[in-house]
Amino acid sequence: HNLALENWILHQGREKKLLLVYQNKPCVVIGRFQNPWREANVNMASERGIDIARRVSGGGTVYHDLGNVNFSFFTDKPSHCPNRNLQFLADSLNRRYSISHLHLNKRHDLFIGSSKISGSASRIIRTGAFHHCTLLVNSDLTTLRGVLHGDSTISSSATASLSSPTTSLSAECSADVTTRDVIDHVTEEFLGAGREPTVGLWSAEEEQEEDVLIVDHVPECVLNVEHQTFEWVFGKSPKFSVVVGDGVMVHVEKGLVCQVDGWDHDPSLIGTQYDPQRLQALLGT
Amino acid sequence: MALSLVSRVCMRQILSQHRALSMYYTESHEWVNVQGSLGRVGITDHAQAALGDVVFVDIPEVDLDVDVGDEIASVESVKAVGDVASPIGGIVVAVNEALSDSPTLVNSSPEEDAWIAEIEISDMSALEGLMDKEAYDKFLLEG
């Protein structure tokens, strides 16, 4: 729902800069042209009630939970500058927590030493742009590492994630770091002295002048029902092939099985949603 | 009968000038190369340089009906996902499948090999709002 809000704000054509801050309950978020089966353990996600979402920006797959904070910097097209945003974020965190070895790389990631704490992506349209990034404050890194482990045998032109070892702020800092504290500090620095962020209800009708919005509610009219469908989350995967059983190759387009080689299968299989577990069960493997 | 080298060079110049005359550009850095009632669409060298290394091109489907300004493709680069807006309206009659396997064609040959779609133009008057090469180059200089 927060992703729907981001997309909605982008299409409003705002001229003033906006920093949106939001958190999600556990979910895997894949990039616009990625393959969820290749990037994540879809089974494990399903078993644990972890949603899978596809965002409109590019980049790789990330895991969100309530220990992660998302920052979304909205600007007009000429002012779009992820480097500036990340430098601001890094400086801000350093001022508060005095983290040594906190640095940016060329891929717009934030690292502490050789472990990643933040990944970025951007979306640019004619009337504006946003750059958003995650920040692992005190996320469940065990679940993160487990669920971001997909089927690497899948053959596809979909964009691949670049895997990095991860860590969180709380794991690296001696201070007691909470998401609340991080949000308060960063938004205060963004706004400057004497100004308060808006928290809570975002009204779709009012002209929003505020520079920082901390989301706690997304109104119905902003929700993008289309983005909650199988067709969007799984179906937008570029076509791919994968070996399922012994010498059995499955070709998938728009998330649906379109061809199977090496198996005398039931014709009704064609056109069904790709489901590796079900296929393996049918094959008896 | 073999043409002399001089004649061949002249032919090539004439053909490329002919191509140049039929090239039109938008302020959002798309181009359309018009031959008869067909228009081939892509993004300009300026656009690909701004995008950086292209990692994926989401090409449209054949038979798609587009209006002027509609999103006809998305391009993901290492920096961002951006849109390609169609400079013309009509029906998509061909798409460049090569971009699925080689998205970096957009960086290496943005105004030739990395054409995205070919459109049967429904209304040629859409071209009147576009720039020719000279106007586009001037537009780029003016920043």
Interface touch A33/B58, C-beta < 8 Å: yes
pLDDT in tens, A160-173: 998 899 999 998 88
pLDDT range class, residue A32, cuts 50, 70, 90: very high
Query: Among all residues of chain B, which has the CA nearest to that of A156?
Result: B101
Token code pair at residue A160: 């691949």
Which stretch of DSSP H or E encloses residue B73? strand B71-77
| Inter-chain touch B76–A31, beta carbons under 8 Å | yes
pLDDT class of A202 with cuts at 50, 70, 90: low
| Whether A159 and B28 lie within 8 Å, measured CB to CB | no
Residues A175 and A61: beta-carbon distance below 8 Å: no
Q: Say what the alpha-carbon torsion angle A176, A181, A183, A186 is, to the nearest 10 degrees.
A: -90
Contacts of B58 in chain A (CB under 8 A): 33
Q: Is the pLDDT of residue A139 over 70?
A: yes
Paired sense of beta strands B54-58 and B30-35, if any: unpaired
Say yes or no: B28 contacts chain A, CB-CB below 8 A: yes
Residues A50-79: tens digit of each pLDDT: 999 999 999 999 999 999 999 999 998 889
Instruction: State residue A16's pLDDT score.
Output: 80
3-state secondary structure of A20: strand
Given this model, what pLDDT does residue B50 score?
Answer: 92
Contact pairs from chain A to chain B, CB under 8 Å: 51
Whole-Å CA distances, B122 to A89, A249, B33, B37: 49, 42, 15, 8
Chain B residues in contact with A33 (beta carbon < 8 A): 55-56, 58, 74, 76, 81
Residue entry with tokens 């910097």 = A73
Q: How are beta strands B30-35 and B38-43 bridged, if at all?
A: antiparallel
Chain A residues within 8 A of B76 when measuring between CB atoms: 31-33, 58, 159
- Per-residue pLDDT tens digits for A244-274: 878 899 999 999 999 999 888 888 999 999 9
A33, B82: Cβ pair inside 8 Å?
no
Of B56, B81, B103, the CB nearest to A123: B81
If you average pLDDT over every residue of chain B, what do you get? 90
CA-based R_g, chain A, Å: 20
Give the mean pLDDT of B95-101: 95
Does residue B102 belong to the interface with chain A, where contact is any CB pair within 8 Å?
A: no
CB half-sphere exposure, A33, CA atoms < 13 A: 27
Tens of pLDDT, residue by residue over B9-40, are 666 666 555 555 689 999 999 999 999 999 99
pLDDT at A283: 82
Task: Quickly tell me which residue has 């089966």 as its tokens.
Answer: A37
Residues 6+ apart with CB under 8 A from A164: A109, A111, A115, A116
- Residue-level pLDDT at A169: 92
Identify residue B137 by its one-letter amino acid code.
D
**If contacts are CB pairs under 8 Å, which of residues 191-220 in chain A contact chain B?**
none
Contacts of A158 in chain B (CB under 8 A): 56
Residue A157: C-alpha distances to residues A6, A33, B87, B127 (Å): 27, 9, 28, 34
Cα–Cα distance, A140 to A170 (Å, whole number)? 11
Select from A3, A10, A29, A33 the residue whose CB has the most chain B CBs within 10 Å, as the one to mutate to test that interface.
A33
What is the value of pTM for the model shown?
0.88
pLDDT of A205 reads 46
What is the pLDDT averaged over residues A226-247? 91
Quick one: tokens of A3?
């992703």
Say if the Cβ atoms of A58 and B76 lie within 8 Å.
yes
Residue ranges in A40-138 assigned as alpha helix (H): 42-47, 82-97
A195–chain B nearest CA distance, Å: 31
Predicted pLDDT of residue A246: 82
Contact flag A159-B56 (C-beta cutoff 8 Å): yes
**Distance in angstroms (rounded) separating the CA atoms of residues B128 and B134:** 15
